[in-house]
Amino acid sequence: MADDFAESEKGPSAGVRATAAVVLVGGLIGGMWGLDEVSGNSGGDSGPAVRSSTDTSSAHTKKRQSSKRVSGARLCTALNRPDLPRLLGTPAEQAETASGGESEFKLAGGTRIATPEADVALPTYSVKLSASYDDLSVTETADLMGRNAQKQTVLGHPAVLYSDQTIAITFNGNKADTGPGGIARCLTVARNPKDGGGTFEVTIWRQDDVPPDDAALFRVEERVLPAVPGWNAG
């Protein structure tokens, strides 16, 4: 894929976006229960947002490391790359905030599925990178999702492309109102070409109601995933 591409079409003014943040609602990931915060750039230098230091001494962190599963911090490192604005088609922007954290969801039978994730926010786009360590293949996931899912191949791995809904949070003084937001585009990719279970997912959505660019989503996925620990794992 060519490295050069035009800047994507701009939506409403920056002032409008500042008062109408868009956040992701659904996706294939469960509830958040731990978060490593990251501070945004304080100056005008280009590049990724600067991550704060994290405490790696907790029992949960040691358990996560011993399981050889990727952490939210490592996902954040892979996603929060200097060329992310260019991959998104907004080369004049820079990352404002970035975070990586640990999450999980619980199945009906009591099994807990680890789903670490990372988020990077820019003026136009927000991007989420997550991992899931379940036994469900991408092919099975696509079949369960029905017509909303489009089967794809990314870097030789089975993948599924689908849309998700967001909600818009509008701040008016001390009051916050919520309502329907724009559409997020999600690309879930098998961890290995054999599709034996476990996935990585990249989701992008805009701070306005303009639909996100699928080409940008694929560019991010194809550059970011090879840098994630566990990619191509058997």
In the chain, the number of structural domains is 1
- Whether residue 44 is contained in a domain is answered as no
- Whether residue 114 is contained in a domain is answered as yes
Q: Measuring CA to CA, which residue among 87, 132, 106 is closest to residue 230? A: 132
Residue 221 is inside which H or E element, if any? helix 214-224
Phi, psi of 32 (to 5 degrees): -80, 135
- Whether residue 19 is contained in a domain is answered as no
Structural domain for 90, as ranges = 69-227
Distance of alpha carbon 97 from alpha carbon 120, whole angstroms: 6
- Whether residue 57 is contained in a domain is answered as no
- Whether residue 148 is contained in a domain is answered as yes
Helix (H/G/I), strand (E/B), else coil: 161 = strand
234 residues of the chain, pLDDT tens digit each: 444 444 444 443 333 333 334 444 444 433 333 333 333 343 333 456 655 434 333 444 444 443 578 999 999 999 999 999 999 999 999 999 999 998 777 777 777 888 899 999 999 999 999 999 888 899 998 988 888 899 999 999 999 999 988 877 777 777 877 777 788 999 999 999 999 889 999 999 998 878 999 999 999 999 999 999 999 865
Model pTM greater than 0.85? no
Q: Find where tokens 């599925």 sit.
A: 113
